[in-house]
Amino acid sequence: MKEIGEENSNYPMDRTIKWKSPRRSFQYYIVKEGIYPPKSYRAYTRAPNCYPIPDNYVIETTYGKKEKTITCYIDYYNEKPQYTIKFGLNKDEFRPKTKINGVYLFGLQLSQIKLVRDNRKKPRIIKPFSEITNQMQTIRCRSFSTSSLASIEDQIKQHFSAEDEVAINELTLTVNNSKYRIIYQSKNDDEINRQLAIVRALDYNRISRSSYRALAAICQDLPRDRVF
């Protein structure tokens, strides 16, 4: 039967985790959170718990009325986990027949540390450029241009004097044989282009619905035509 307990944890901000059930209580200190080995040989605790067993894992466990502290180690050798417990200065191999369940001695039931491990092992997946929509391609290029400009501006500070007037005018890149030209404009240039766009929108007609929509797209503070 799976034992239900309450976990008090702010890991990884705080390496100390407290766990308590109606039958027992433990305090843990995470020395090394470890990693999960490949699924091909990853081991699990027995049913009904079936907790995954990490590799390169070290935890200090305090338990019992006398608050005895031991250090527990798990390392995989030949694709099998080996459990070791250090009592004071001595290390002994863990024996499953001990009175205390090994799951709780080793803190394998702790959900917060499992969540942290799962999140850390997940790499960020970026879709290929050809598999995203035109709108997302534009957004990605715009984001790239912004972060690139910030990096270049940092390099400018390292290679030019503060008295030098250095401006980045444009950036050209090729993605999958398609060329993209990114033009950097000052805030003053952006404002001039914005005002010219407003004039063009007003020139089209006497503020028809289509003209108003064009103008509202430029002036974000104007109400949408849906509200009239």
Tokens of 37: 């080995």
Average the pLDDT over 89-105 and give the result: 64
Q: Which of 121, 150, 168 is the last residue of a domain?
A: 121
Q: Same structural domain for residues 63 and 155? A: no
Q: Are 218 and 201 in contact (CB under 8 A)?
A: yes
Q: Same structural domain for residues 200 and 173? A: no
User: What confidence category does residue 93 fall into, taking pLDDT thresholds of 50, 70 and 90?
Assistant: low
**Is a pLDDT exceeding 60 seen at residue 205?**
no
Instruction: Round the average pLDDT of the chain to a whole number and report it.
Output: 79
* 21 occurs within a structural domain: yes
> What's residue 79's pLDDT?
93
Q: Same structural domain for residues 14 and 113? A: yes
**Is a pLDDT exceeding 50 seen at residue 96?**
no
> What's residue 101's pLDDT?
79
Q: What total number of domains does the chain contain?
A: 3
Q: Same structural domain for residues 84 and 111? A: yes
Q: Which residue has the higher pLDDT, 126 or 225?
A: 126
> What's residue 88's pLDDT?
67
Q: Which residue has the higher pLDDT, 138 or 211?
A: 138
Q: Same structural domain for residues 166 and 178? A: yes
> What's residue 189's pLDDT?
56
Q: Same structural domain for residues 42 and 146? A: no
Q: Same structural domain for residues 143 and 199? A: no
* 97 occurs within a structural domain: yes
Q: Which residue has the higher pLDDT, 86 or 44?
A: 44
Q: Which residue has the higher pLDDT, 18 or 169?
A: 18
* 47 occurs within a structural domain: yes
**Is a pLDDT exceeding 50 seen at residue 228?**
no
Q: Same structural domain for residues 13 and 108? A: yes
The enclosing domain of 117 has a CATH number of 3.30.160
The domain in which residue 104 lies consists of 6-121
Q: Same structural domain for residues 175 and 202? A: no
Q: Same structural domain for residues 222 and 155? A: no
* 1 occurs within a structural domain: no
* 99 occurs within a structural domain: yes
Answering whether pTM is above 0.75, one says no
Q: Which residue has the higher pLDDT, 64 or 41?
A: 41
Q: Same structural domain for residues 102 and 10? A: yes
Look at residues 44, 58, 53, 47 and name the one whose alpha carbon lies nearest to residue 2.
47
Q: Same structural domain for residues 197 and 104? A: no
Mean pLDDT lowest among 76-85, 181-190, 210-219: 210-219
**Is a pLDDT exceeding 80 seen at residue 24?**
yes
